[in-house]
Amino acid sequence: MMLPTIPTPEELLDKGFRRGKKAADLKRGEKIPKHLKGKRIEETRVITACQVIKDKLKMILDRTPEIEELPDFYQDYIDITVGVDDFKQSLGALNWAYGIITQLEKEYGAKIRKLSSERATGLRKQAYGRISSVVNKIEKDLDFLDFAKQNLRNMPTVDFEATSIVIAGFPNVGKSTLLTHITDAEPQVANYPFTTKGIQIGHFEKKWKHFQIIDTPGLLDRPIGDMNDIELNAMVALEHLADAILFIFDSSETCGYPLENQYKLLEEIKNIFDAPIIYLFNKMDIAEYDGIRHDYIQEYIDRTEDPLLISAAEGEGIEEIIKLIMKVEKREKSSDDEDEYEEDENYF
Ligand code: GDP
């Protein structure tokens, strides 16, 4: 997400006061009756400074997307990464500053016009003092918005029209091998909170339907019992996104996790995700020898609903996976969410 550049209070004031001075200098050259000239110059300084600062604040407010209007996944993402409440509060503070500076502009403009030129400089100084104090009051909000800008810069670009399939399974079971086999191009890699390797998104299109396959190394590949609240939230964000889960077992157990543990991970994922699950038993090329499959593997295959036996490395079974993915329907978004956000309307 591209957020506008955020100035510091000093930068904002500096720009406003500098432009105020420039505009006033132009006034000095104009033919104005002497007793009015001092007033005009100071009025111009105040009004220009207010306008410049207000324009910048308005530009920030206009170019920042309304969080409530973003898809659930992004709202979750922003909440996990920087905090939605803090975000709204900071924008609220900028809005507040905008309002106060509008008032100061009117108040001091009128005062300077009414009083004599001798008092104009004093009034302008007073106005600048009050403007500075307002802008300095939003320092922590500007700071926060800059922090948000840096942290949301590499937010994943998700296609919300596409059907989304989220891959799960322990490390080294073959998730990224499979992702590159199913999707067209190199997957897009973006930041994802609390995973060191980020999120990988690959796309493919078939029969005019668009699918995106999402892999989240470090998140859907370890026991959920070990996760902290924030990681669980990151998980819930994925739940909002997933139309189906591709759960991958390493039948050969060469990933280092026994099938029993892999099955436990599956059970945990089932508890969190409502989405339908497609079950894949990968690395069948080394899990069988001469067509003979170990009994222990068969036991897990028998426990699983409609399993597909594949070898991602050899491209074995990819067509069947794509056929199953083609059957996945986009999940309806619950309308509860919308009601929830309406209550927030008066937030600013
Ligand atoms: P991820 O950590 O789940 O993304 O797993 P990777 O896709 O990186 O695969 C881990 C290792 O397993 C790599 O060395 C792959 O080459 C290997 N691998 C993946 N799929 C298969 C397969 O079907 N058969 C065999 N023999 N090896 C595989």
Contact 207, 156 (CB under 8 A): no
Does residue 172's CB lie within 6 angstroms of at least one atom of ligand 1?
yes
Ligand 1, atom 24: closest residue by C-alpha: 283
H helices of the chain, where? 9-29, 34-63, 72-81, 84-114, 117-137, 139-152, 175-182, 229-241, 259-272, 284-287, 295-303, 318-326, 336-342
Distance CA 172, CA 181 (A): 16
Q: Please give the class, per CATH, of domain 163-338.
A: alpha beta
Rounded to two decimals, the ipTM of the complex is 0.98
CATH architecture of the region 9-152? Up-down Bundle (1.20)
Q: d(Cα 257, Cα 222) in Å, to the nearest integer?
A: 11
Q: Is 312 near ligand 1, meaning CB less than 6 Å away?
A: yes
Question: Can you tell me the distance from the alpha carbon of 41 to that of 28, in angstroms, rounded to the nearest whole number?
Answer: 7
Q: How far is the CA of 200 from the centre of ligand 1 (A)?
A: 16
Per-residue model confidence (pLDDT) at position 99: 98
Pairing of strands 292-293, 288-289: antiparallel
Question: What spacing in Å lies between the alpha carbon of 312 and ligand 1's midpoint?
Answer: 7
**Residue nearest atom 19 in ligand 1 by C-alpha distance:** 174
Give the Å distance between the CA of 170 and the centre of ligand 1. Answer: 11
Tell me if 202 sits within 8 A of 213, measured CB to CB.
yes
> Is residue 5 within 8 Å of 149, Cβ to Cβ?
yes
- Range(s) for CATH 3.40.50.300 in the chain? 163-338
Over range 282-293, report the average pLDDT. 83
Cα distance between residue 273 and residue 269, in whole Å: 6
- Site to probe by mutation for ligand 1, drawn from 172, 219, 254, 289 as the one with most ligand atoms within 8 Å of Cβ, is 172
pLDDT value for 194: 63
CB atoms within 10 A of CB 10: 12
Using the predicted structure, report yes or no on whether residue 344 has a pLDDT greater than 60. Answer: no
Average pLDDT of the chain is 89
192 or 33: which leads in pLDDT: 33
* Structure-block tokens of residue 279: 């079950």
Show the tokens assigned to 344: 């927030």
Q: Return the ligand 1 atom nearest residue 248 CA.
A: 3
Query: Could you tell me which residues are beta bridge partners of residue 212?
Result: 164, 203
The band of 108, judged by pLDDT with boundaries at 50, 70 and 90, is very high
Residues of the chain with CATH 1.20.120.1190: 9-152
The finding on whether 171 has its CB within 6 A of some atom of ligand 1 is yes
Query: Ligand 1 centre and the CA of 128: distance in Å?
Result: 65
pLDDT tens digits, residue range 72-89? 889 988 998 899 999 999
